[in-house]
Chains A and B, each alone.
Chain A
């Protein structure tokens, strides 16, 4: 459905591309400095752009009353929310993963690190959407809640940020990264199992 309203998913994506391509201009085209800070740049911008898109996750459905119909439907609400979250990931997380090699190259990342970067993005962007869904369902119905949403979700994003960036930087020094990948996977599994249920409860409370 967001495909019909391209600005809702193109804006965060454009933000991601523009923000990253500004770094080489601002810092200067030294390959060594840039490749050192590249994992941080890509991951922080990725998180910010996911956060930008989260507001739209339930907001429009709430405004036009479709959300009410979802809540009172006899279908399982967590399942509906999981479907919505997956759709959200397909339009934000997936394009980011697909664009990341190109942007990695502008930051002088080597092939091996780009591969690891994509792997961490693949493992962790679904968690970003899932955890974000909890935050978005808590603030649904509150006007101008962008700030509140960031306050709610960023603390939960920080472990992902730490493990993902350390995986990419360690791979630049050919160090093992299994530990970080295991952590990212377990965060993904935990959020996949809990997020739909927690969002469903949060949504019901926000609508009440």
Chain B
């Protein structure tokens, strides 16, 4: 069982207060969709949850581990707007590097993950030569490898086609059925079941 607790989170950027005193709790198996207009602080909230930015005030913890601690950081998997791929590396190396930062993975697992997102013959293609959607797929294939319990996905479906969205939604559902937690932002209509919504 994992539990993500966010209490009284306030975020300020410059002189603007993006949001204040946000509190929520997520238990194993729950998916939270953060919605809100452009510039309402969705990405900032996810970055704070990932430990990338610091909040003005408030607390957050996973299973009583504070943000920034070894246990907290190893429990999260964060995917931002940026592709997180190095153009000089090919798909498999990129995926390996991305996942090595959280856990070590076998050669076979890497191949399987890339096959799952429909990039079977692209293992040795340089990331620089991929389309935006394919880049997104490479990064999202890390979802098939990571052991992190809490997934923080910022607009995961951008640039994906219907089939790609379907694959990722299935994987998110599976993750939450296995006791994981997922927080995501998206403007697309999603078919995810049991979605909680937080509007900023």
Query: Which residues on the B side are within 8 Å of A2 (C-beta)?
Result: 88
Question: CB < 8 Å: which of B76, B78, B85 contacts A64?
Answer: B85
A30 nearest CB across to chain B (Å) = 45
A86 at interface (Cβ–Cβ under 8 A)? no
Interface-facing stretch out of A11-19, A72-80, A170-178, A179-187: A72-80
Interface centre among A5, A73, A74, by most chain B C-beta atoms within 10 angstroms, is A74
Residues of chain B contacted by A4 (CB below 8 angstroms):
88-89
> Given A1-B86, A1-B89, A208-B54, does the pair A68, B80 have CB atoms closer than 8 Å?
yes
Interface presence of A90 (CB below 8 A): no
Interface string of A56-75 (1 = CB under 8 A from B): 00001101111011111111
Q: Is the CB of A73 within 8 A of B73?
A: yes
Alpha-carbon distance between A65 and B86 when the two chains are bound, in angstroms: 9
Pick from B20-28, B45-53, B179-187, B190-198 the stretch touching chain A: B45-53
Task: Give the distance to chain B from A47, nearest Cβ to Cβ, in Å.
Answer: 27
Query: A3 — nearest CB in chain B belongs to which residue?
Result: B88
Report the Cα distance A99→B197, complex, angstroms: 62
List residues 97-118 of chain B with CB under 8 A from any CB of chain A: 97-98, 101-102
Q: Please tell me if B162 contacts chain A, counting CB pairs below 8 Å.
A: no
The answer for the CA separation of A60 and B86 in the assembled complex, in Å, is: 8
Inter-chain contacts of A69 with B (CB < 8 A): 78, 84, 98, 101
Q: Could you tell me if B88 and A75 are in contact, using CB atoms closer than 8 angstroms?
A: no
> Judging by beta carbons under 8 Å apart, are A5 and B88 in contact?
yes
Are the C-beta atoms of B80 and A64 separated by less than 8 Å? no
| B residues in contact with A63, CB < 8 Å | 82
Q: Which residues of the partner chain B approach A75 to less than 8 Å between Cβ atoms?
A: 101
- Is the CB of B58 closer than 8 A to any CB of chain A? no
Check B74 for interface membership: any CB of A closer than 8 A.
yes
CA distance A74 to B82 in the complex (A): 20
Is the beta-carbon distance between A64 and B101 smaller than 8 angstroms? Answer: no
Take A65-B80, A68-B80, A207-B52 as given contacts and tell me if A74 and B85 are in contact as well, using a CB distance cutoff of 8 Å: no
Range of interface residues on A (Cβ < 8 Å): 20 to 34
CB atoms of B52 and A64 under 8 A apart: no
User: Digit string of A193-208 for contact with B (CB within 8 Å is 1, else 0)?
Assistant: 0000000000000011
Asked if A65 contacts B82 (CB within 8 A), the reply is: yes
Chain B residue at smallest Cβ distance from A61: B86
Partner of B85 from A66, A71, A72 at Cβ < 8 Å: A66
Contact B53 A208 (CB under 8 A): yes
Q: Which of B132-168 contact A (CB under 8 A)?
A: none
Query: In the complex, A72 Cα to B78 Cα: how many Å?
Result: 8
Q: How far is the CA of A189 from the CA of B84 in the complex (A)?
A: 33
Q: What 5 additional pairs, Cβ within 8 angstroms, besides A1-B89, A72-B73, A75-B101? A: A64-B85, A71-B52, A74-B74, A74-B102, A208-B54
What would 27 A/B residue contacts be, using CB atoms closer than 8 Å? A4-B88, A5-B88, A61-B86, A64-B82, A64-B83, A64-B84, A64-B85, A64-B86, A64-B87, A65-B80, A65-B84, A65-B85, A66-B84, A68-B52, A68-B82, A68-B84, A70-B101, A71-B51, A71-B52, A72-B52, A72-B73, A73-B73, A73-B101, A73-B102, A74-B74, A208-B52, A208-B54
What are the 3 tightest A-B residue pairs by CB atom distance, in nearest-first order? Answer: A65-B82, A4-B88, A74-B73
